[in-house]
Structure 1
Amino acid sequence: MKTYQVKGRPEGVRALDGLSISVEPGIVFGLLGPNGAGKSTTVKILTTLAAADSGHATVAGHDVAGDPARVRRSIGVVAQRSGADPVATGRENLLLQGRLYGMRGQELNRRADELLDRFDLTDAAKRQVKTYSGGMQRRLDVAIGLVHRPEVLFLDEPTTGLDPEARTAMWEEIGRLAGDEGLTILLTTHYLDEADRLSGRLAIVDRGRVVAEGTPDELKGELHGDAVHVDLVQPPPADGLSVYEALGRVPGVREIAVDGRRVSARADDGAAAVPAVLAALDQAGSPVAAVTVARPSLDDVYLRYAGRSFADAEGVTR
């Protein structure tokens, strides 16, 4: 549990409300959720940067509250904002990080050279970090987090703000870190495609709680059939009863959800169900502007468990 005190709200803002996860060694575990879901607060607690109000956590076998020093030696952290010194060079940043962990001499120099080469930063090693592109800075951030060979690497929304090319390159490197080195990675993200591609297992977080957990394929596999998404010309009545009643009579259509002008449902055969769906909504006085049919996605999983679309949840302030 974690509650932040906020001026004007005596009860505070609850960032975590009984969130519980277990991460197996050697995998990429995705913590997926919209902005404000509690992902960054979770990372702060697990990396000893914040204290939980209640509960218990261990990282790499060490108690977060009882033995924070051993936790810190066992982890690497790549925060949302770069921790590199912008006026130092890339190599100087790596050397400084190594010294903070007691590394010296040839061992440290070899490790710095190894990481500069691995992250394609050798040619920029003597340049000040403030001259790096966004993608180069993020690669350096990951390299800094790996200097002391941690057992667990925390990546807190590592691709936010990157262009598509840099983002894809970061995805490939994260995959190599887990696959080639057996590193345990806790990845927080609000990008559905990122979580789907990288995570061996993931937890979907909403309002400080885990609402679904499993592999991406397991979670999507729970949603049998196709997703049918309909945009209405105008919002239905406030209670949406006419829409629920109309679609409830269409054979094979289930799990109906209404969110403003957006209507979502599942169908055994989405393409075959579309004509009947359109006719039913038209008869109910809710004409359709657009309709799409798709295979199950993580957005559909989120909608099922959280009761609203991921895009809408991104705009929610708790």
Structure 2
Amino acid sequence: MKKPFLYFVLSFLLFSCSSNDTDAQIITDPKTESKYQTKNVILLVVDGARISETWEAANKENIPNRVSLLSQGVFISNFKNNGTTNTNPGHSAMCSGVYENIKNNGTELPGFPSVMQQWLKFTGADKTKAWVVASKDKLEVLNDCKLADWKGKFQPSVDCGVSGNGSGYRDDLVTMTKTKEVMAKYSPNVMVINLKDVDSYGHANNWNEYIKAIKTTDATIKEIWNYIQSLPAYKDKTTLIVSNDHGRHLDANGGFAEHGDDCAGCRHIEFFAMGPDFKKNVTINTGNYEQIDIASTIAELLRVPMQYTKGKVIKDIFK
């Protein structure tokens, strides 16, 4: 009996797009297209928050909104960055599913296409349907990569930082205003948002402002979730993932002002998510989940045939 043509197409995609990585997650079966209610995914990165001041604080006093929102979502207690614990490498790993030690100053593109680039190619959607909105200008590199077949192609839209203070950075309040403007005007299906204030006050060695920024960002997470539910294009069909690019040094390793090594403070990061396809009021403390798994999970939700990723789909968070 002859096998249908579709079988050969799917087989070709499965075995030719893995970039020789047997662990890569590749979604190829169009029959599963309507499996999930999620039509949009927003990744919100809280830059440089140490887990000891968020989910592992004695009474979680700095994140009351996330504690309340957990009734609608899922938290992974042992989530890790197993790559380079700096801003650009961390963001790149979440977006591409590959750990790379790229330069942290915004002068080096990631080596592999992000889930946004791959989604744009797969769907043929306009670039305004995928966005990077960041408080740090150096994260504009997330809209491209070095790989020859992808460089300069299928690029998401960007709105990153401002040079009014000479640093190229802007306050998170400005980034949140831009985020809402983009959502209202373009209704993008996939977004990556960076909020930098926690990291900035950490580097300034200003403990009080660092804690204040964590609390402000916690309120922002509730604000963006409420805004999602207020928009017809997003309500009940949008997944919000909150994570970190990196943590900060343990006190024994130099303290909260810096980061960048493999101490537990730098590697242990947040994974908190809400969406129509995820479990509710659940904390997961089993499994071996890490930063590069985010890209594969976004691809799974949006049914993108993801290439190159070394990560896995975080199956335990799904209903």
Given the two structures, how large is their TM-score scaled by the length of structure 1?
A: 0.34
Instruction: Say which structure, 1 or 2, has more relative contact order (CA 8 Å, 6+ apart).
Output: 2
Higher strand share: 1
Larger Rg: 1
